[in-house]
Chain A
Amino acid sequence: MNLTFSIVLFSIVFTSVLVSLVGNNATVRRTYELGLNFSMLFRILVQKYQKARKLKKLRNEALFKEPIQSDYNTVISELNANKEEDEIKK
């Protein structure tokens, strides 16, 4: 109970003080601007990270498909070549 009451008290005190400082003090305004921009920066970074991850995933998928196809073709051609060699030997 005391903890909640103290949070109630300090939240009202902080609100009151900050509201008057936002109205009067340029430093506090700058701090808030920085905080909001930092949050914005964070949001942009998250978006960039998500975009990069998506791109990487797409690239990996593309790469993943190509090697398999190429490997498959190589293996098949090698197998065919081996078969032909065996037949010639026979």
Chain B
Amino acid sequence: MNIAVTVVSVGVLVFLAHVFAEIFSRKKIPDVLLLIVVGLIVGPLMNIISIDDFGMIGPVFTTITLVTILFEGGTELRFDALKNSLKGTSLLTNLNFFVTMIVVGLIGWLAFDLPVLVSLMLGSIVGGTSSAVVIPLVRQLEMGKNSKTVLILESAFSDVLCIVFALAFMEAIEMGQLNIGLMIGNVFASFILATLIGLSGAFFWSMVLHKIRNINNSIFTTPAFVFIIFGISELLGYSGAISALAFGIGLANMDSLASPIIQSIIAKRTDTLNETERVLFSEIVFLLKTFFFVYIGISIRLDDLFPIIIGFIITLILFVVRVPVVRASMPNSQDHKLDLYYMSAIVPKGLAAAVLATIPLQRGIAGGSLS
């Protein structure tokens, strides 16, 4: 592809993204969908660009997008909102994940005659929701603050469940036995330690932030530090996504976290993000989101109809199942009925599912080519 044409396309895409955002605010047609359609047109439909053209850059780009979106999403969450929505979040996250896993597992087992463990592995891969889709989407919707927080946290927490359970099922398939205790232990370790890493990072960063600001061109050091936190957490075997989110939440709520007693002990001033930094990060997320969804559109393969039809049917079932899950998890309130409708409609799968889906084939697990 001609470099000049590529550069022009990037520019046009940014303008298109703004047009799509305007369409969303006026006509309620999500920009996410329109961006995917652009990706589908230039990718599988017109073959102008293919997923192979991105090489190793593709997965790196999607990870950077995820980390940045989670961090920026975390900076928007306040502790009081978190406290109010934690119960609903844990109920919704767990119920949605396990119901999805069982439903997809049953479909795989009964309809495709897959072994039970392979079916459950498939269910756990698609059990979560995508932060990269949920966070930008709920921000543009007129919903209650608590409901938004529940959906954002669900998308972050469910990734951990997906990764831990899917990998545990893969190991169980390879070893021929399932260790439930180890699985539950991994979930807790990943949640708690990843959160601790994120919060410690936020605490450290808030102490040095006012010094960092004195250095020229240092505004990008905050996202750079988030990448380091994410990497450390992943290298230690915990959830980098949770760490990035916890870092964002910690940094935005440092005034509540760092009590006067702690501040007097360490005798250092803690700082949080200023308005310029917030605006800049929001702009970065907008750009990354634009390219991410076009990339998703490009990466979809339309050459084999069978998995597409099955995927369509499974997705349809998952959207039906979501309604009683939301009903059971959230309190019945006449004031927040619209929030419940939105919560029932927002079940997008994303990066975690796409990445996990590639592992069974790499490991040579039977049925991996289907999942």
A-contact 0/1 string along B333-352, CB 8 Å cutoff: 00001101110111111100
Given contacts A19-B137, A19-B141, A29-B341, contact A14 B323 (CB under 8 A): no
Contact of A4 among B32, B341, B371 (CB under 8 A): B371
Report if A7-B126 is in contact (Cβ < 8 Å); known contacts: A15-B345, A32-B344, A33-B337: yes
Cβ 8 A contact of A35, one of B311, B323, B328 = B323
In the complex, the answer to whether A11 meets B30 with C-beta atoms within 8 Å is no
A10/B315 in contact, CB under 8 A = yes
Tell me the complex Cα distance, A21–B361, Å: 37
Kindly list chain B residues whose C-beta atoms are within 8 Å of the C-beta of A19. 28, 30, 137, 141, 342, 345-346
On chain A, the residues within 8 Å of B370 by CB distance are: 2-3
The answer to the question of B318 belonging to the interface, with a C-beta cut-off of 8 Å to chain A, is yes
Cβ contact of A15, chosen from B122, B137, B332, B371, cutoff 8 A: B137
A24-B28, A36-B327 known; A15 vs B348 contact (CB < 8 Å):
yes
In the complex formed, the residue of A with least CB distance to B357 is A4
- How many B residues have CB within 8 A of the partner chain? 58
Counting CB contacts under 8 A, is A16 at the interface? yes
Interface residues of B in 224-271 (CB under 8 A from A): none
Q: Could you tell me the dominant secondary structure of chain A's interface residues? A: helix
Query: Contacts A15-B137, A36-B340 given: A5-B354 contact, CB under 8 Å?
Result: yes
Write out, one digit per residue, whether chain B residues 21-48 have a CB within 8 A of any chain A CB (1) or not (0).
0000001111011001000000000000
- Please indicate which of the listed interface residues A1, A22, A39, A43 has the most CB atoms of chain B within 10 Å of its own CB: A1
Q: A interface, how many residues as a size bin?
A: 20 to 34
* Nearest chain B residue, comparing its CB with the CB of A24: B28
B-chain residues with CB within 8 Å of residue A43 when the two chains form the complex: 327-328
Docked complex Cα distance between A68 and B297 (Å): 73
Q: Are A3 and B345 in contact (CB under 8 A)?
A: no
Q: Which of B300-329 contact A (CB under 8 A)?
A: 300-301, 304, 307-308, 310-312, 314-316, 318-320, 323-324, 326-328
Q: Name A's B-contacting residues (CB within 8 A).
A: 1-24, 28-29, 32-33, 35-36, 39-40, 42-43
**What would be 14 A-B contacts, judged by CB atoms less than 8 Å apart?**
A3-B310, A7-B311, A8-B300, A11-B315, A12-B33, A14-B345, A15-B348, A19-B137, A23-B28, A33-B341, A35-B324, A35-B344, A40-B327, A43-B327
Name B's A-contacting residues (CB within 8 A).
27-30, 32-33, 36, 122, 125-126, 130, 133, 137, 141, 296, 299-301, 304, 307-308, 310-312, 314-316, 318-320, 323-324, 326-328, 332, 337-338, 340-342, 344-350, 353-354, 356-358, 361, 368-371
